[in-house]
Amino acid sequence: MKELEADNRTLQGEVAARDESIKLLQQQMQRQQEEHNRQLMELQVKHRREMADKEVAHQEEVSFLKSIIQKAKKWFPLFQELVYMEKFCLKVGFNERQTATLIRGKPLFYEGELYSEEHKRKFKTENAGFQVVKDPKDKSKLVLCIEGKPIGEWFKEQFNKLFSSVRRTVAPLKKGKGIGL
């Protein structure tokens, strides 16, 4: 019986030591969790601050670039027209190199297809001369010319030629031979 009581006390001591060990581990885990949460909060605050600083720097840069663009538009009245003309030339079908040539005001000879947004179709050119010039009607604008003619007029002519050739090939309907109702 004394042996059992000794074993019992030994077991109780081991259990108490294990309980104490568990309690210490839980406290250590709690401290680590709190430290982790604190570090996470610090990182989040630092991240927000860095993002706010980057946003301020970005806004300053955008503002600076806008002021440069405004100055360029004031100093070079056709600057904005050149930007529009670049987009137009690319949309019509010229590549970057050809567009750069045209934007510099130099003539360009081109053979191929050009797209008219107004007519929603492509028209073929054969070694035609192109150049960007000041619009004769409004000197504050630029116009892309083909063989000295504004390209809008050229597109209309091409469309009218196509339309008239299609109209001639379609035979008119004959009257009097249908089924009468």
What is the per-residue pLDDT across 63-78, written as a single tens digit (0 to 9) for each? 999 999 999 988 988 8
Structure pTM? 0.62
pLDDT computed for residue 32 by the predictor: 95
Determine the average pLDDT of the residues in 24-30: 93
pLDDT computed for residue 137 by the predictor: 87
Question: pLDDT tens digit string along 112-157?
Answer: 999 999 989 999 998 899 999 998 888 889 999 999 899 999 999 8
Q: Cα 112 to the chain's mean position, in Å?
A: 28
Q: How far is the first Cα of the chain from the last one, in angstroms, to the nearest whole number?
A: 125
| 170 pLDDT above the threshold of 70 | no
For residue 75, give Cα distances in angstroms to 7, 12, 70, 100: 100, 93, 9, 21
1 token code pair? 């019986």
Extended beta strands in the chain, E state: 108-116, 121-134, 142-146, 149-150
When pLDDT is cut at 50, 70 and 90, the band that residue 180 belongs to is low
